[in-house]
Amino acid sequence: MQYPIAERDHTINGVPGRMCPIHAPQQVRGRLVHRSQKWISEGRPVKGYGTNGVMYVEMRFDDQCGNGYQNFAITARVYTKESRRKGDIAAGGCLHEEIEKTFPELAPFIRWHLVGTDGPMHYLGNTIYHAGDRDYNGRRKGEPCAWDYGVRFGNSPITHRIGRKFWEWLQARIAHNANTPKSNPHRLGEFRPVAIDYEKTSDTDYKFKPKYTLAGWDSIKWHECPFDDATAAQEFADALNSCPVKFVKIATDYSEGKDRDFDAARRCALWPDATDEELSAEPETLKAALLARLPGLMAEFRAAMENAGFLWEPEQPENAE
């Protein structure tokens, strides 16, 4: 094929338009892609935007974003008498409902919007999220989503709440000592308080009293100290040194989950005939079903692009991802 391919008249699904110039593929992130491949339709009258409204549809199948894959997009621009006077458009972007009404011949391409040669955008993640009843952290309604952390000493039912990182450090230190003989020089020994001085940030800054932590957990700043005074630090150290310690994690908030949005899931998956039951499957089961149908979906996508007259990505170099 000889590049560049000059701008030319080109009809898609019976709609006249112009195919913009296409230059030789470029290597982006190790892959060969067409960086610009755009078709613009003829103008057609459209109502609802102003005087003498005219709509143009733009379809592109290229790597304008520079991500190393060609992606398809179908958008529109609307001009009116008023917008032309201002040198602007009256509307633009993903006007898919208006495109379907004004250019019904191009409606079949709307389903491929944001599909690329690497698959539909966020194909697995978006489909599984919308189809599921879990929140963005993967938790269903009623499952804990926030916790307080603390310790209990001996048989006391009182929980002494502490920060999570300090809580994790205490567990690791106690486990280390439990697994290290007393004669071993690497044994950490008993807990003891350490004072952390306040560091003034200016000559006029107020000089606060020291706060306290425990030896080994002292590479922290003044405001991060777990104890406000020496007595509290010493009492906590004495309890750690003399009492059995139980670490507790207390749920303080619970997820609201989310409602399943099957229509959104079908759109993300380009799977209009998927049943609610199929989409309600456990995430790993749904993922497997989505991956199984992806090759057929991509073959259909490629056929749609090539039938429209767009160039697919050229053969990739051997070291391409």
Residue 2 domain-assigned? no
Tokens 């004669």 belong to: 183
Domain boundaries, position 107: 8-136+261-307
Residue 240 domain-assigned? yes
- 44 with 115, same domain: the answer is yes
pLDDT, the chain, mean: 96
- 65 with 121, same domain: the answer is yes
Residue 315 domain-assigned? no
- 109 with 163, same domain: the answer is no
Supply the pLDDT for residue 321: 62
| pLDDT tens-digit series, residues 64-79 | 999 999 999 999 999 9
- 154 with 126, same domain: the answer is no
Given a cut of 70, whether residue 241 has pLDDT beyond it is yes
| pLDDT tens-digit series, residues 223-236 | 999 999 999 999 99
Residue 202 domain-assigned? yes
- 92 with 108, same domain: the answer is yes
- 93 with 113, same domain: the answer is yes
196-223 mean pLDDT: 91
Run of H or E including 82: helix 81-85
With H, G, I as helix, E, B as strand and everything else as coil, classify residue 105: helix
Residue 204 domain-assigned? yes
Given a cut of 90, whether residue 314 has pLDDT beyond it is yes
Q: Which of 219, 254, 289 is the last residue of a domain?
A: 254
Supply the pLDDT for residue 170: 97
Given a cut of 80, whether residue 319 has pLDDT beyond it is no
- 18 with 34, same domain: the answer is yes
- 58 with 150, same domain: the answer is no
Q: Which of 217, 237, 254 is the last residue of a domain?
A: 254
Residues contacting residue 174 through CB under 8 Å, at least 6 positions apart: 240, 245
- 271 with 126, same domain: the answer is yes
Q: Which of 234, 254, 274 is the last residue of a domain?
A: 254
| pLDDT tens-digit series, residues 20-67 | 999 999 999 999 999 999 999 999 999 999 999 999 999 999 999 999
> 148, 162 in Cβ contact below 8 A?
no
- 111 with 187, same domain: the answer is no
Report the distance separating Cα 62 and Cα 9, nearest Å: 19
- 180 with 38, same domain: the answer is no
- 281 with 250, same domain: the answer is no
Domain count, the chain: 2
> How many Cα atoms occupy the beta-carbon half-sphere of 147 within 13 Å?
13
Q: Which string of b and e fits 271-298 if b means at least 16 CB within 10 Å? A: beebeeebbeeeeeebbebbeeebeebb
| pLDDT tens-digit series, residues 132-146 | 999 989 999 999 999
Residue 313 domain-assigned? no
